[in-house]
A and B are shown apart, each in its own frame.
Chain A
Amino acid sequence: MTEPLLEVENLKKYFPIKKGLFRRTRGYVKAVDDVSFQLEEGETLGLVGESGCGKSTTGRTILQLLRPTSGRVLYRGQDLTGLNFQQLRPIRREMQMIFQDPYSSLNSRMTIRNILLEPMKIHGLYTKKEREERVEELLELVGLDRGVADRYPHEFSGGQRQRIGIARALTFQPRLIIADEPVSALDVSVQAQVLNLLQELQETFKLTYLFIAHDLSVVKHFSTRVGVMYLGRLVEIADKRRLYQSPRHPYTQALLSAVPVPDPEIKRERIVLSGDVPNPKNPPEGCAFHTRCPECMEICRVERPPMIEVEPGQFTACHLYS
């Protein structure tokens, strides 16, 4: 078997809560709490969960935009967590990010040309002429007219801006792209255009995606495998079909049943969870989901469930199966 492109091992990211006169640390928000998974070359792993579950922090910590508290991030076998800024730079060309909000992730005072030139300048790659050519190539790749290069971001619609963000991420022919809610700010019809573009690019350049989103239907359409997060922990991860057809973790089951289906004739049995997600400053003992779980047992309150393989390729962290 080939080596996975990315391995995340026991990744933790705690944010200290500082209070009082001397800014003493009074506790931690455990944004990412012991998350492990692997990403094979060419696949798309969808990461879903509700707001505050740590899915975006996971993405940023993998890229070392945030330094992890502990754990390892192996990119093609090399651990990124110990590397300094200089050492990371060449690796960063191969791992890029696409952001949610195409309005705030493009500098409004720069032309599209300059936005696309900047990464090449920073990395000191290519001659001037090659750079200009690359800009036009990139615009063409994402389906924009090369004549738009001298316009400013405000002249574009949300969908077009997201295309510019994608073009920028493609500058150095990356292998891994972490897309953090790339379509959630877009209207449905435009969302479909951008998803199709990302899919085409994946086929052309053999890209590997970590696709972070909260919309379960979008994730199902787009991913090959899906991981579900709750309160900083990965609760279930499996092949897409298996996860959507036979979810094992009670949280995954509730989440899937909560999605409204655009068909007025389907009336589904819905599991409505009571209450809210607990505060990550003070997560529940044992299984983080036990406060809302319809099948909570005694052991769930005290012991954190380990990840177990319930079916080949389907892992879930729940005491029901241990």
Chain B
Amino acid sequence: MTALLEVNNLHIAFRKEKSFIPTVEGVSFHVNSRETVGIVGESGCGKSVTSLAIMGLLPRGISRIDYGEILFEGQNLVGLSSEEYRKIRGREISMIFQEPMTSLNPVFTIGDQLMEMVLEHTAQPKKQAFKHSVEMLEKVGIPRAEEIMHDYPHQLSGGMRQRVMIAMALSLNPKLLIADEPTTALDVTIQAQILELMQQIKNDFDTSVIMITHDLGVVAEVCDRVVVMYAGKVVEQGDVKAIFKNPRHPYTIGLLQSVPSLTEERDQLYSIRGSVPLPENMPAGCRFASRCDHAKPECFEHEPPEVQIEGDHTTSCWLYR
């Protein structure tokens, strides 16, 4: 089976003053069809940048892809012209963002924005686009869908706006949906509604999902496989059960232990000492070495190779060499 999306050895750099500083270095992972892959990591680890690269939305001029390929159904997306990309975005791959208020245009109605998507990409008449948009709103569980079509974004609550974004992202039935922290700005009870909706949509629309999040609870709940990123690199990836039950990389282990638990009690939380190195100041060797309890001399000198643990569970760490 070939993967729907394959990211191979992706390198992305951002400009700082006169030089380009690598922010994503050698990221590889794949997404099979109908699969939900979670990308987890802390702020600045490169998870959002990676997803913007897949969407072809890296800011021009200040960022560039130095190396690597992004294969979507076998076609390399790196280097596509904006014309070509426009045919893929929305139709084949679409994206929802963290803050639904800033990703909707405040001066157009919900209907205008939903229909624009359909009218841009298909040859449907306006009437039909309207009907289709109303249907989409109903599918994502919005009551009074026809009335809402005439509302402006500020008239809706955060949870409703995120539903509108999901309706928009799915209205052309894309094969891949990238969700960048889709529930982070929402309250827990609303988060539960949206996660439930995303599960249901995945089944109804046969969509693959890349879920970018820092919330390990969300990952455990919705993902099939997990990619853990740290300081611009993938440190571990594998099946969701393998990652949570048998994490191997000291960073993954530390991350899982530092989350307070609802089900068990601990006197003190485990905390990873120190902080993430800055991109312009990346140490040689393993990037996690200075915070790692198991670091050996070689960790500070040479980059760890990717080691296979079992099946597609891999980690980049000298401990398992």
Contact = CB atoms under 8 A, between A and B. Distances in A.
B188 A276 contact: no
B96 to A, nearest CB: 18
Interface stretch (A8-16, A66-74, A254-262): A254-262
A189 to B, nearest CB: 4
B192 interface: yes
Interface residues of B, number: 45
Interface string B126-170: 000000000000000000000000000000010110000000000
B258 A159 contact: no
Contacts of A188: 42, 214, 216, 255, 258-259
B262 A218 contact: no
A162 to B, nearest CB: 12
Contact of A265 (B214, B241, B269): B241
Nearest to A258: B192
Nearest to B278: A157
Interface of B: 42-43, 157, 159-160, 187-193, 195-196, 214-221, 223, 240-241, 244-245, 254-256, 258-263, 265-266, 268-273, 275
12 contacts: A159-B275, A191-B258, A192-B259, A193-B271, A196-B271, A199-B268, A216-B188, A221-B269, A261-B263, A264-B221, A264-B245, A265-B241
Interface of A: 50-51, 157, 159-160, 187-193, 195-196, 199, 214-218, 220-222, 244, 254-266, 270, 272-274, 276-277
A58 B8 CA distance: 51
A157 B42 CA distance: 13
A1 to B, nearest CB: 27
A51 B269 contact: no
B262 A259 contact: yes
A159 B193 CA distance: 31
A255 B189 contact: yes
B188 A258 contact: yes
A244 B262 contact: yes
Contacts of B220: 260-264, 266
Contacts of B244: 262-265
A260 B189 CA distance: 10
Given A159-B275, A187-B42, A272 B196 contact: yes
Contacts of B216: 188, 262
B217 A260 contact: yes
Interface centre among B42, B193, B258 (most CB of A within 10 A): B258
Interface centre among A189, A254, A277 (most CB of B within 10 A): A189
Contact of B271 (A192, A221, A222): A192
A218 B261 CA distance: 8
A157 B275 contact: yes
Contacts of A220: 260-262
Nearest to A274: B193
A274 B193 CA distance: 8
Nearest to A292: B189
Contacts of A263: 220, 244, 263
Given A195-B269, A217-B259, A244-B262, A260 B195 contact: yes
A316 B258 CA distance: 32
B111 to A, nearest CB: 21
Contacts of B256: 262
Contacts of A160: 275
Contacts of B266: 221
A313 B195 CA distance: 35
Given A217-B260, A260-B217, A261-B217, A187 B268 contact: no
Interface centre among B43, B221, B266 (most CB of A within 10 A): B221
A272 B214 contact: no
B188 A259 contact: yes
Contacts of A264: 220-221, 223, 240-241, 244-245
Given A258-B189, A264-B223, A273-B192, 17 more contacts: A188-B214, A188-B259, A190-B42, A191-B258, A192-B269, A196-B268, A217-B259, A218-B260, A222-B260, A255-B189, A256-B262, A260-B218, A261-B221, A264-B221, A265-B245, A273-B193, A277-B187
Contact of A221 (B214, B223, B260): B260
Interface centre among A199, A270, A272 (most CB of B within 10 A): A272
Nearest to A187: B42
A16 B258 CA distance: 43
A187 B190 CA distance: 22
B100 to A, nearest CB: 14
